[in-house]
């Protein structure tokens, strides 16, 4: 089974819901990874702000983030432009050439390749 997890929640909201979404997204990735199945994580939309936050050791989700960091496929290139994210160290994904943007991930292509796409 192939699973791609897309994180859209916004850390700038400062809400428990946003933290809960990224926590659960990473927990699902951890579960799938430990089961030995194919899993990848994409940060998209306002979620492109998460990598910078999760790399901080004082973030409550930092340990879980480090456990699945090797499964991060990248961040949406166009969304980093729109939301002013600084996702240093991660690939910028732009295979969906949306007009007026520098490109976004193609969730359609992932589904065509047999991936289950989960959105948090």
- CATH code of 89's domain: 3.40.1260.10
Number of residues written out for the chain: 120
Average pLDDT score, the chain: 96
* Owning domain of residue 62: 2-119
Question: How far is residue 49's CA from residue 33's CA, in Å, rounded to a whole number?
Answer: 23
pLDDT digits over 12-34, tens only?
Answer: 998 999 999 999 999 999 999 99
Q: Above 90 in pLDDT, residue 86?
A: no
| For residue 87, pLDDT beyond 80 | no
Nearest to 4 by CA among 29, 23, 22, 21: 29
Give the predicted TM-score (pTM) of the model: 0.95
- Rounded to whole angstroms, the Cα distance separating 83 from 116 reads 26
Provide the pLDDT for residue 1: 86
The domain total for the chain is 1
């Amino acid at each position: 089974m192939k699973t791609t997890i897309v994180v859209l929640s916004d850390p700038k909201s400062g809400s428990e819901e946003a933290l809960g979404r990224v926590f659960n997204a990473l927990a699902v990735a951890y579960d799938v990874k430990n089961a030995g199945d194919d899993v990848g994580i994409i940060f998209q939309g306002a979620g492109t702000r998460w990598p910078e936050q999760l790399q901080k050791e004082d973030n409550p989700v930092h340990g879980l983030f480090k456990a699945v960091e090797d499964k991060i496929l990248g961040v949406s290139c166009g969304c980093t432009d729109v939301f002013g994210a600084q996702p240093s160290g991660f690939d910028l994904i732009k295979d969906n050439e949306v007009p007026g943007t520098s490109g976004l991930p193609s969730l359609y292509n992932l589904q065509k390749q047999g991936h289950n796409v989960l959105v948090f």
